[in-house]
Amino acid sequence: MPPPVLAPDPTLALLLFGAFVVLGALGFWPKIGLFWRARRLARLTERVTLEDGLKHLVNCKLSGRTGTIESLGGALEVSRGRALKILSALAARGLVITDGVAVSLTPDGHTYGMRMVRAHRLLERYFADRTGIAPAEWHERAEREEHRISEAEADHLAASLGNPLMDPHGDPIPSVSGILPPASGVPLSGLAPGTAATIVHLEDEPREAYDRLRAMGFNPAVPVKVLESKPGVLRMLIAGVEQFLDPVLAGNVTVEPVTERETHTVLLQRLDSLPLGQSATVAQIAPMVQGPQRRRLLDLGVIPGTVILAEMSSPSGNPMAYRIRGALIALRREQAHGILISRLQLPAPAELMA
């Protein structure tokens, strides 16, 4: 019979275990763990810095501004001296020309920069359509990933996404040859009361502003209409829903005025507000519902004009079961929230004209 093995002292074992857990947490806690910090630092190579610099200059050019050492330092969050070094490194590679103050791109620099812009916007489109990553993280992740994908990979990504034309913020994605359609639109803050417009672009920085706008339902292709403009507040319809907006935030939204259409003036509701046992007609699927989610709803027959009956509630009230074109389909609250409806009981649209 082998000698019996004795159990180690439990107190000591627990202490060792505790120490092990603390060490593990210090190293691998999401985002702030030492391992993740070290990895982030290791990724910030010379090439990444140069590419970021180049992209900044291209973005300046696209928005009609002139890139300077100061703007470069500001965008990359580095000192003036460091910005100067980056610039001379770019010049040495024949990508930019500096005349002391203003900086301009050479044709090679422009092509390289456009490639970065293309990769960035494609990645954002990918995150929006094919993953569950939160909208606020698209930009940041694309900033990281854009340096790692090759030109061929970007083309492959574009093909698999169906060669999208716009990124999820409404910015056009440059074609393979680096061509962009001209930018259009006016800032939302400049829209006169009573004017209807379609959102064409949403500035994704600063992040806090972007998050707030998204939360209110702002998104490219969403119809808006300014109802009333008072100091400090804009009363407006966003995809048919009445909301109040801080005019400062309105500066981050670019819109294109449109000729007035019915959808902008009818007060719309969302499907999740439809009481049990009542029916409504689908007005549209909210433009912020994109990719597979939108396709699924369309396949289920949720298209403008479809009559939907809220037939049954689950014990917790979420999901709800709706009668859609003959079939009983369960939808979660957030899905129902993405479907805009007009209630059959409401007065005719003409009476609701603002």
From CA 70, how far away is CA 84, in angstroms rounded? Answer: 9
Q: Which of 45, 160, 184, 273 binds another protein (CB under 8 A)?
A: 160
Cα 223 to its chain centre, rounded Å, is: 17
From CA 272, how far away is CA 320, in angstroms rounded? Answer: 9
Give, as ranges, the residues between 70 and 109 that touch another protein (CB under 8 A).
none
From CA 101, how far away is CA 120, in angstroms rounded? Answer: 28
From CA 127, how far away is CA 162, in angstroms rounded? Answer: 14
Check whether the bond before 30 is cis (ω within 30° of 0). Answer: no
Q: Work out whether 293 is an interface residue with another protein (CB under 8 A).
A: yes
Sign of torsion over alpha carbons 291, 292, 295, 296 = negative
Residue with token string 């030109």: 151
From CA 302, how far away is CA 305, in angstroms rounded? Answer: 8
Residues in the interface with another protein (CB under 8 A) total: 61
Q: Which of 162, 206, 231, 275 binds another protein (CB under 8 A)?
A: 162
From CA 342, how far away is CA 264, in angstroms rounded? Answer: 12
Residue with token string 């456009």: 114
Which is nearer to another protein, 3 or 100 (by Cβ)?
3
Q: Work out whether 14 is an interface residue with another protein (CB under 8 A).
A: yes
Residue 216: CA count within 13 A, CB half-sphere: 21
Cα 348 to its chain centre, rounded Å, is: 35
Q: Work out whether 182 is an interface residue with another protein (CB under 8 A).
A: no
Q: Work out whether 275 is an interface residue with another protein (CB under 8 A).
A: no
Which is nearer to another protein, 227 or 321 (by Cβ)?
321
Which is nearer to another protein, 208 or 334 (by Cβ)?
334
* Length reported for the chain: 354
The contact pattern for another protein, residues 299-328, with x = CB under 8 A and - = no contact, is xxx-xxxx----xxxxxxxxx-x---xxxx
Q: Work out whether 41 is an interface residue with another protein (CB under 8 A).
A: no
Residue with token string 């019996």: 4
- Closest approach of Cβ 32 to another protein, in Å? 14
- Closest approach of Cβ 185 to another protein, in Å? 15
Give, as ranges, the residues between 194 and 223 that touch another protein (CB under 8 A).
221
Query: Which window, 60-68, 85-93, 128-136, 261-269, contacts another protein (CB under 8 A)?
Result: 128-136
Q: Which of 233, 330, 344, 352 binds another protein (CB under 8 A)?
A: 330
Which is nearer to another protein, 48 or 221 (by Cβ)?
221
Q: Work out whether 291 is an interface residue with another protein (CB under 8 A).
A: yes
Q: In terms of C-beta density within 10 A (0-12 exposed, 13-18 middle, 19 or more buried), how is residue 155 classed?
A: middle
Which is nearer to another protein, 79 or 313 (by Cβ)?
313
Running DSSP on this structure, what letter comes out for residue 2? P
- Closest approach of Cβ 349 to another protein, in Å? 19
Q: Give the binding site for another protein (CB under 8 A).
A: 1-2, 4-8, 10-11, 13-14, 17, 30, 127, 130-133, 159-163, 165-166, 181, 221, 285, 291-296, 298-301, 303-306, 311-319, 321, 325-332, 335
